């Protein structure tokens, strides 16, 4: 197993593995993933999420979710919400979860659309980010009459600053929210282990039903909680979730024999958290 590193001293490798073991022993896994159960004896939990408060989410996405009685989690940006406040109020009233996606949707300045504005996560600090997030919370709670419990990191990125000055803003999210969701990940969430403010999610934009189904089926181990993320809703494109794919997906996820439980991000998190923190029953 060491042939890849023929000159690396065995002692150094052993020390590395020992450190890894210590880290693993210190990791918090309240209960084994196999002990987490879902309603109706489902094997996996699924959450459907959308980012950016795009208009097609109201015109195409919400009506489709309502038709299939699926509750989604929508991560909103104030300036996009301001043009459709009545629609987002109606979505919340229908039982869809409203989450925070920050005020400025700031990502790395490597994106040209940000460089043209001389903006980027590399150019701000934690104080700036905290205010940007809290301003969005105030706007959404005041104008939509909801309590915001979940946050989605713009572009899935969790840092501010550059080089040795880079800082994670995950602790800020942990301070104000019950959950934080990333983007463009490659795995589901292990319910006995996952950090609730660093939830993984999978991109469903531009994908066919067969592609999404294959992705889900490959990630069903360990009672995984699988979070799916899209943007616009309509005809399949880079940042558009295909409406016909969603129709097929809902049918697949709601078939009892397939063993899925659909819930909003906060609903599933609450369900898992309760089992991870429940007192252990002593044997008599």
CA angle 133, 135, 137 (to 5 degrees): 70
Phi, psi of 202, rounded to the nearest 5 degrees: -115, 140
Q: State both tokens at 155.
A: 């572009």
Tell me how far apart the alpha carbons of residues 75 and 106 are, in angstroms, rounded to a whole number.
14
CA angle 135, 52, 250 (to 5 degrees): 130
Tell me how far apart the alpha carbons of residues 45 and 88 are, in angstroms, rounded to a whole number.
25
Locus of tokens 């040209």: 112
* Nearest by Cα to 124 from 138, 114, 113: 114
Query: Which DSSP string do the residues of 170-188 spell out, in sequence order?
Result: HHHHHHH-SEEE--S-SS-
Phi, psi of 269, rounded to the nearest 5 degrees: -60, -45
pLDDT at 25 (0 to 100): 41
pLDDT tens digit at each of 284 positions of the chain: 333 334 434 333 334 333 444 344 445 556 899 999 999 999 999 999 999 999 999 999 999 999 999 999 999 999 999 999 999 999 999 999 999 999 999 999 999 999 999 999 999 999 999 999 999 999 999 999 999 999 999 999 999 999 999 999 999 999 999 999 999 999 999 999 999 999 999 999 999 999 999 999 999 999 999 999 999 999 999 999 999 999 999 999 999 999 999 999 999 999 999 999 876 554 33
Rg of the chain, C-alpha, whole Å? 20
Tell me how far apart the alpha carbons of residues 236 and 142 are, in angstroms, rounded to a whole number.
34
pLDDT at 29 (0 to 100): 58
Tell me how far apart the alpha carbons of residues 178 and 274 are, in angstroms, rounded to a whole number.
13
Instruction: Encode 56-85: b = buried (16+ Cβ within 10 Å), e = exposed.
Output: bbbebbbebbbeeebbbbbbbbbebbeebe
Tell me how far apart the alpha carbons of residues 282 and 241 are, in angstroms, rounded to a whole number.
48
CATH class of 37-277: alpha beta
Strands (E), 21-135: 44-51, 73-76, 97-100
Tell me how far apart the alpha carbons of residues 191 and 223 are, in angstroms, rounded to a whole number.
7
Distances (CA, A) of 218 to 140, 223, 233: 36, 12, 25
Query: Do residues 115 and 51 lie in contact, with contact meaning Cβ atoms separated by under 8 Å?
Result: no
* Nearest by Cα to 154 from 115, 111, 215, 194: 111
Phi, psi of 233, rounded to the nearest 5 degrees: -125, 125
Task: Provide the residue ranges of all domains of the chain, joining segments of one domain with +.
Answer: 37-277
């Amino acid at each position: 197993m060491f042939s890849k590193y023929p000159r690396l001293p065995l002692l150094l490798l052993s020390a590395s593995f020992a450190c890894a073991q210590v880290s693993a022993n210190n990791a918090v896994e309240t209960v084994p993933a196999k002990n987490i159960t879902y309603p109706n004896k489902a094997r996996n939990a699924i959450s459907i999420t959308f980012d950016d408060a795009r208009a097609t989410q109201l015109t195409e996405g919400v009506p489709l979710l309502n038709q299939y009685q699926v509750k989604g989690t929508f991560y909103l940006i104030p300036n996009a919400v301001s043009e459709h406040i009545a629609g987002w109020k109606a979505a919340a009233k229908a039982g869809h979860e409203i989450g925070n996606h920050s005020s400025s949707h700031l990502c790395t300045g490597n994106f040209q659309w940000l460089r043209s504005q001389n903006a980027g996560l590399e150019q701000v600090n934690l104080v700036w980010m905290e205010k940007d997030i809290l301003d969005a919370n105030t706007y959404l709670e005041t104008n939509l009459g909801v309590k915001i419990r979940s946050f989605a990191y713009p572009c899935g990125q969790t840092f501010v600053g550059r080089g040795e000055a880079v800082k994670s803003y995950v602790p800020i999210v942990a301070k104000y929210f019950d959950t934080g969701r990333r983007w463009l990940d490659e795995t589901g969430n292990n319910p006995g282990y996952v950090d609730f403010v660093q939830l993984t999610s999978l991109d469903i934009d531009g994908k066919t039903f067969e592609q999404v189904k294959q992705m889900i089926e490959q990630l069903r181990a360990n009672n995984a909680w699988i979070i799916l993320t899209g943007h616009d809703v309509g005809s399949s494109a880079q940042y558009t979730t295909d409406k016909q794919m969603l129709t097929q997906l809902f049918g697949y996820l709601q078939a009892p024999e397939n063993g899925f439980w659909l819930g909003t991000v906060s609903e599933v998190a609450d369900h898992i958290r309760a089992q991870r923190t429940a007192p252990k029953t002593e044997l008599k």
